[in-house]
Structure 1
């Protein structure tokens, strides 16, 4: 059972949630409760650091939006719910502090208070102009110390002279800000992966990274397609990575098709069939309603769509999947190998679709009459 939990962690590149075991694992969560007493105890027995995974994910969300994540933003953007953070850390505020988004207040002497007031007044006078690109880059480079592989957005918020939001406004995202400062996040992640491989003398698992690495395995699941995808690039040097990127740029993925004609035959899934976490078991037909504004540099496109019953929901096309499809409002498409996400917000069940590297998109030209489940 421990091996299965570790294998599932490797597959998804992150510490799994209990429903993910029910959906994709060989055992049920009931089996783990019976054996270990709770899901958290099962994670501990498998050597998985749940708190580290939660913090990494919170930092990722903060970097994506360029500000301290609100409860709503956590529920909408994080793979872990705000309730999970509150349960694990005592409150959302405590979780944010652990991630470095907020610093605890310290008592100050009257002299310190006076000095602080002077600095505040000076900052207020100088705050009419936004920080320059040069100033932001210099500050990011200052934060690039040896304790971390690279600076986090939370480091800028807690230790920097500026905010991660300033960097997002200037460069578009935190990762792009790192690149502008000459920090190659991909190369450093792969170097650390090779280091752990050498320590364990073999292909590392997520538990190996959590025990021996300078970052948690969940960061690889967020940056790459999955933990397995990160492993596949372990020998990749910075120069070869750049070459591959230039060769692949602008090419559509094999298997992602548009413009052809297909028939919707047999069963097609509906909104209520979208799984909590994992790939859809079969195809789903959707009609594009309108394009939505993308709120993350990692998301290439967002669309409001509806299923054959007219139920509306959202689909996200992630930039890293390079899905080259001309999504036309009003047109119908049949999707295979899409991933589902389900969460609860204000007592209401929310569902959406995400692209995957294997997503297949076929445009459907006929009407949807006669489509059956």
Structure 2
């Protein structure tokens, strides 16, 4: 596993290749690593960019623009708009919504969309699941294994598997890809 300095050096090299600080999506799609180790080590993508001496690629997005994009996604993909839909087809990163709104349901509610997740068999709030796995990942400094989640997490892996099908897909939904 690379050291922190090796991760930063790889980030600098990739920025040189692009001619600018990479976005999280660019790193995930074409970079030498996923954005996950940067997120888990430095807390955010922009903090990792800063640590590498690259500045940030952060731009302030108006709340109205975030809500309009949710409405567009609802028109194109149906409701309820899920985190996965935003991640795959949205203009903005799902993390932007989590920082800006009290919850995923709050964002959908403010956009005038169905705020509840109405899928069959839904028992646990999706935001709570994502928060629980992210909290444990921050504590561990990396994405948790299934056993670690069962032993140390706020939730067992059962609702993750029920909701996302596999543990890796649950980690991806939380922005914690295992491809490091």
Fold shared, TM-score > 0.5 on shorter chain: no
Greater relative contact order (CA < 8 Å, ≥ 6 in sequence)? 2
TM-score normalised by L of structure 1: 0.20
- Which one has the bigger strand percentage? 1
Larger Rg: 1
TM-score normalised by L of structure 2: 0.38
- Which one has the bigger helix percentage? 2
